Amino acid sequence: MDIFSQNNKLKLVASLVLIIAMFAAVFYILNRIGLFLDTPVIAAEVTIYAQEQDKTGIDTETSFVLSADQPLNEKKIRETLQVLPTFAYDLEKGDNDNEYRIIPKEKLVEDKIYVLSFDTSNQGLETLNWAFQTKGSFRVLSSLPRLKSTDVPIDTGIEIVFSREDFDFSKVGNYFKITPQVKGRFEQHKKNLVFIPEKLESGTIYTVSVKAGFPSLDGKQALEEEYSFSFETSPLKEEQDKFTFDIDNRLSEFAVDEAPVLTAYFNLQYYLDKKWDKPTEVPSLAVSLYNYKDYTDFIEALALKDAIPDWTYQARTYQADLSGLTKSAEFEMEFISVDDYSHYIVFPEALPAGYYAAEIRVGDCVRQVWLQVSDLTTYLALGEEKGIIWVNDLKSKKPVKDADVA
């Protein structure tokens, strides 16, 4: 009886062990296929990193690696992983159950921040976040001096700021150009390419360009288009210390019976206080008037003037060679001041019809303006495919019939 009882006890223990083993096996299998996870993955056990990245950002074609100390499964990852902005992705299992690759199905957007969040609590809470910024396109962001800047010191350096610092510095000389040509050396300061000229000339317009094709260091990107900017250096200091004035030297038109009036600009109070021995006197001016023989010569002269960029100091101070023209008049006069900054030059009489250049001199400061005197006035309107020119007679105040337009 004792032997029989002992055998029954052994069988009972064996049965219990077998049942426990079966439950353990079922639990293991269910856990493996993701039906449940006995403990949530804690934040410290999870990491996400981009496989293709450097200090300038992540590559737009990168994949991400999600790893944890505990086993993971695809179902659980898709339930707990959040991506903003969203993108579709595939999951690829790594070498073990603790690692998965997150593979975007499409190329990521350049220069954008993506946030990957993992809900470690399994309660709809984003408890752990990773932020990644994609690399931007390789381009120029800005320059120094800025585009169309004037009065730039002649000892300035020239800086070009790129969107990333890993440009191929060794090839800069093949893509950088400055006109007029200047000798100098290059330096790199992170994203900044610096050209240090040996010498810049005063009162000169310089154009700097970096040609398309300038590559990044890894060779994966290059400038898609040329970047170019111009600036003008300051005039000589001795020129700045003398009396100067500006004048609107755009083409001016006047009627035959109308005395020309020109507008000039200078700070009167400054020169009264600082520049003249007799502070109560406004500087006088002398005008020399020259004739062009016909409109062809006049148009050619205007084309030479207009070739200078209108944003430059040189455009305001441009002086043409008038030695080949006929001088038709000379006279002296005074500025008529409206306020401390705005002044007028009023010719003593009307001019005959024709094409003129007037040279105005105040001390050593010389300015030139171009005048057209005619009783015909025109209006031009251009559309994409057609245009209209309206010609009117100022005397009759009527349209001009059968006018020739050249």
Print pLDDT tens along the chain (406 aa): 455 555 555 555 556 656 666 656 555 555 554 444 444 554 447 899 999 988 778 989 999 999 988 888 888 889 889 999 999 999 999 988 889 999 999 999 988 999 998 876 655 444 688 999 998 888 999 999 999 999 999 999 999 999 888 899 999 999 999 999 999 999 999 999 999 999 999 999 999 999 999 999 888 889 999 999 999 999 876 455 577 889 988 899 999 999 999 999 988 877 777 655 554 456 789 999 999 999 999 999 999 999 999 999 888 889 999 999 999 999 999 999 888 888 999 999 999 999 999 999 998 889 999 999 999 888 888 888 888 888 888 888 888 887 777 6
DSSP label at residue 259: -
Q: How far apart are CA 378 and CA 370, in angstroms?
A: 17
Closest alpha carbon to 346 in 334, 358, 355 = 334
User: Cα–Cα distance between 320 and 368 in angstroms, integer?
Assistant: 8
pLDDT of residue 125: 45
DSSP 4: H
Domains of the chain: 43-133 (2.60.40.3710), 140-235 (2.60.40.3710), 242-374 (2.60.40.1930)
281 contacts 405 by C-beta, under 8 angstroms: no
Is residue 321 classed as helix, strand or coil in its secondary structure? coil
* pLDDT score of 291: 96
* Model pLDDT, residue 205: 96
d(CA 200, CA 206): 9
Helix, strand or coil, per DSSP, at residue 27: helix
Please report the pLDDT score of residue 38 as a whole number: 42
- Full strand arrangement of the beta sheet holding 140-144: 140-144, 158-162, 192-197, 184-189
Q: Which segments of 62-196 does DSSP mark as H helices, in order?
A: 74-80, 172-175
Dist. CA 267–CA 50, nearest whole Å? 62
- Single out the residue of 228, 218, 230 nearest to residue 176, CA to CA: 228
Please name the residues in contact with 360: beta carbons below 8 A apart, sequence gap of 6 or more. Answer: 247, 262, 264, 285, 286, 287, 345, 366, 367, 368, 369
DSSP 205: E
**What is the per-residue pLDDT for 21?**
61
- Retrieve residue 188's tokens: 């790199």
User: For residues 348 and 331, what is the distance between their CA atoms, to the nearest angstrom?
Assistant: 8
Other Cβ atoms less than 10 A from the Cβ of 122: the count is 14
What is the three-class DSSP state of 89? strand
Query: What residue has token string 């990852």?
Result: 77
Helix, strand and coil in the chain, % to nearest 5: 20, 40, 40
Intra-chain end-to-end CA distance of the chain, in Å: 135
Residue 132 and residue 213 in contact, taking contact as beta carbons nearer than 8 Å: no
User: Rounded CA gap, 353 and 68, in Å?
Assistant: 91
Count of residues for the chain? 406
Quick one: CA dihedral 38, 42, 44, 46, positive or negative?
positive
Long-range (24+ apart) CB contacts under 8 A made by 105-112 are 107/60, 107/61, 108/58, 108/60, 108/61, 108/62, 108/134, 109/60, 109/85, 109/134, 110/60, 110/134, 110/135, 110/136, 110/137, 111/57, 111/135, 111/136, 111/137, 111/163, 112/85
- Alpha helix locations (H) across 104-177? 172-175
DSSP H helices, 280-384, are: 295-306, 313-317
